[in-house]
C-alpha cells in the first residue's frame, strides 16, 4: 500500500491540480502609454488577489512608448499566474511595442485575420526608423563615420537583444524576432504559428481555453499545467484613476491644457483681481506639465510654442504692421507640430486642433490690426478741439446773455448763452473761456 501511494505521488509531481475559480481578461487596446502600463499592472495584481487561475491579455495595439512597454513586460514576467497573450478580435494587431508584449507572455495566441510584427524602434528625433547596424557604405564614398549612427545602433541592438531574450525565455523563434526589429517584418496569424512566433490560433476565448487544456507553461519559476476549460471569464476594466491618467496623458489633451494654462495666466496678468482665469490657468498648466513629464516631448517644439505666444502678445501690446504677430503664429504652429513629433503611433497632437487654434489666432490678429489701422486713420482730438464738438443738455433755464448749468460729456459745466433757453434744451459748445463754456442751441 505504501508503494502504491509512493507511485501515485511520483506520477502527480510537477502537475498542478485542476484549476478552479475563473479566468481574468485584460483588454489592452490602443497606443501603449503610462495609463496602459498602470492598467495592466494593477489588473494583474487584482486578478491574482482575487484568485484567477489564468489571465488573458487581449491585445490590439499599434505600439507606443518604450518605457511603458517595458513596465508592462516587467509586470507580465513577475506575474504569479499564467498570462496568455491573445491578439484579438479579427483585424487586430500586435505591432511595434505589442510584439514585445506578446513575446513576453508564456502563451501567445492569435485570432484569425490578425497580425504581429514591425517592432523597429523609432527615433525620438523624427519619424524615420532607426538604421540597421553596420549599414553598407554608399558607392563612391571614401568612408562612413561609425560615430554618426552610434546612438541609433545602440538603441536598435538593445531592442533586438530584448526581443530575442523574451523569445528564448518562452521558446519562440528568436531569429524572426531580430528580423521584426531590424527589418520591421510582419506575420499573419497563420504565418506566426508556422514560424513559432505564436503558439496557436483561436477564434474566441472559450476556444482558446479549450485548446490550452493540459498545456505546460513556466510561471514564476514553476512548471504549471493549464486546466482552464469551462472556467468563467471575468473582465477587469480600467478604474477611474486609469481613465483620468489616460485622458490627461493624451497628447491633444495635454496640449490643450498647456494652452489653457498659459492663456489663463496671461488674462490674469492683464486683468489682475479677477482670480478665476489665474486659478484655472495655474491648475491647467500644472496638470499639463505633469502630462509632459510622462510623454516624449520635443522641447524645441515647446520653446517655439512659447516664443509664438510671446510674439502674439507683443503684437497686442505694441502693435506693428503685423510682422511680429504673423511670426508668432508661424512659430506657434511649427512648435505645436513638433511638440510630440516622435513617430510613435497615437502620440501626436491632432492637426485639426492645431489648425483651429492657429486660425483663431490669425482671426484675433486680423481684428487687432484692423483696430490699429482704424485708430491711426481717426482724427486726433484733444483740448479745445474736442470740447468744441461736444453737445449736452441744459439742467436749468438760461436767460438771454445769462449763465447756467449743463451736462456735457457726462460732466456738469457752467455755460453762457446769448439767448434764453428752457431747461432740457440740447446745446452745442461754440467756445470756452477758462471753465465757462459758450453754448448755442444744438
Q: How confident is the model at residue 87, as a pLDDT?
A: 95
From-to residues of CATH 3.90.226.10 in the chain: 22-123+153-239
Q: 5 pLDDT exceeds 60?
A: no
Q: What is the pLDDT of residue 345?
A: 66
Quote the DSSP letter at residue 398. B
pLDDT at 3 over 80: no
Give the H/E segment covering residue 179. helix 174-182
Average pLDDT in the chain: 81
pLDDT at 73 (0 to 100): 94
Residue 134 has pLDDT above 70, yes or no: no
Between 257 and 19, name the one with better pLDDT: 257
How does DSSP assign 256-323, residue by residue?
Answer: HHHHHHHHHHHHHHHSTT--HHHHHHHHHHHHHHHHHTTS---HHHHHHHHHHHHHHHHHHHS--SSH
Q: Which CATH number fits domain 383-441: 1.10.1060.10, 3.40.800.10, 1.10.3720.10, 2.40.50.140?
A: 2.40.50.140
pLDDT single digits (tens) 26-48: 999 988 888 999 999 999 999 99
pLDDT score at 20: 58
Q: Kindly report, residue by residue over 231-264, the tens digit of the pLDDT.
A: 999 999 988 888 888 888 888 888 899 888 888 8
Which of 99, 124, 110 has the alpha carbon at shortest distance from 178? 99
Say what the pTM is. 0.68
Residues of the chain with CATH 2.40.50.140: 383-441
Residue 133 reports pLDDT greater than 70:
no
188 or 373, higher pLDDT: 188
pLDDT in tens, 186-214: 999 999 999 999 999 999 999 999 999 99
Confidence of residue 7 (pLDDT cuts 50, 70, 90): very low
Which residue has 491711426 as its cell numbers? 376
pLDDT band at 129 (very low <50, low <70, confident <90, very high): very low
151 Cβ contact list (under 8 Å, min separation 6):
none
**Assigned fold of 22-123+153-239:** 2-enoyl-CoA Hydratase; Chain A, domain 1 (3.90.226)
Query: Which percentage of the chain shows pLDDT scores above 90?
Result: 27
Q: Is 8's pLDDT higher than 50?
A: no
Amino acid at each position: 500500500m505504501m508503494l502504491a501511494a509512493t507511485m501515485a505521488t511520483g506520477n502527480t509531481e510537477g502537475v498542478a491540480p485542476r484549476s478552479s475559480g475563473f479566468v481574468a481578461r485584460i483588454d489592452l487596446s490602443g497606443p501603449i502609454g503610462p495609463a496602459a502600463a498602470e492598467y495592466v499592472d494593477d489588473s494583474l495584481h487584482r486578478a491574482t488577489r482575487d484568485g484567477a487561475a489564468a489571465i488573458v491579455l487581449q491585445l490590439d495595439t499599434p505600439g507606443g512608448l518604450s518605457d511603458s512597454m517595458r513596465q508592462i513586460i516587467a509586470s507580465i514576467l513577475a506575474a504569479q499566474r499564467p498570462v496568455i497573450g491573445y491578439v484579438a478580435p479579427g483585424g487586430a494587431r500586435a505591432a511595434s511595442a505589442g510584439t514585445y508584449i506578446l513575446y513576453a507572455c508564456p502563451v501567445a495566441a492569435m485570432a484569425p485575420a490578425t497580425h504581429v510584427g514591425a517592432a523597429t524602434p523609432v527615433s525620438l528625433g523624427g519619424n524615420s526608423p532607426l538604421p540597421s547596424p553596420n549599414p553598407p557604405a554608399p558607392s563612391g564614398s571614401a568612408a562612413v563615420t561609425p560615430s554618426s549612427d552610434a546612438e541609433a545602433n545602440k538603441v536598435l541592438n538593445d531592442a533586438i537583444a530584448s526581443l530575442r531574450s523574451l523569445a528564448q525565455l518562452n521558446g519562440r523563434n528568436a531569429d524572426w524576432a531580430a528580423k521584426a526589429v531590424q527589418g520591421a517584418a510582419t506575420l499573419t496569424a497563420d504565418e506566426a504559428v508556422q514560424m513559432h512566433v505564436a503558439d496557436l490560433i483561436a477564434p474566441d476565448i472559450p476556444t482558446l481555453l479549450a485548446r490550452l487544456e493540459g498545456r505546460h507553461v513556466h510561471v514564476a519559476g514553476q512548471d504549471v499545467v493549464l486546466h482552464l476549460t469551462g472556467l468563467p471569464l471575468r473582465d477587469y476594466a480600467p478604474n477611474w484613476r486609469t481613465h483620468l491618467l489616460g485622458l490627461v496623458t493624451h497628447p491633444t489633451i495635454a496640449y490643450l491644457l498647456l494652452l489653457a494654462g498659459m492663456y489663463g495666466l496671461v488674462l490674469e496678468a492683464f486683468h489682475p483681481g479677477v482670480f478665476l482665469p489665474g486659478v484655472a490657468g495655474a491648475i491647467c498648466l500644472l496638470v499639463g506639465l505633469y502630462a509632459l513629464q510622462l510623454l516624449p516631448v520635443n522641447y524645441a517644439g515647446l520653446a517655439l510654442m512659447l516664443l509664438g505666444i510671446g510674439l502674439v502678445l507683443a503684437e497686442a501690446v505694441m502693435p506693428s504692421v503685423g510682422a511680429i504677430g504673423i511670426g508668432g503664429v508661424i512659430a506657434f504652429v511649427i512648435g505645436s507640430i513638433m511638440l510630440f513629433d516622435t513617430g510613435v503611433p497615437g502620440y501626436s497632437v491632432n492637426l485639426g486642433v492645431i489648425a483651429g487654434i492657429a486660425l483663431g489666432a490669425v482671426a484675433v490678429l486680423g481684428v487687432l490690426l484692423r483696430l490699429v489701422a482704424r485708430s491711426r486713420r481717426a482724427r486726433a482730438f484733444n483740448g479745445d478741439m474736442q470740447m468744441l464738438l461736444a453737445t449736452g443738455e441744459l439742467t436749468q433755464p438760461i436767460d438771454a446773455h445769462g449763465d447756467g448749468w449743463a451736462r456735457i460729456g457726462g460732466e456738469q459745466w457752467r455755460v453762457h448763452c446769448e439767448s434764453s433757453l428752457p431747461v432740457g434744451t440740447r446745446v452745442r459748445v461754440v467756445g470756452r473761456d477758462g471753465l465757462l463754456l459758450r453754448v448755442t442751441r444744438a
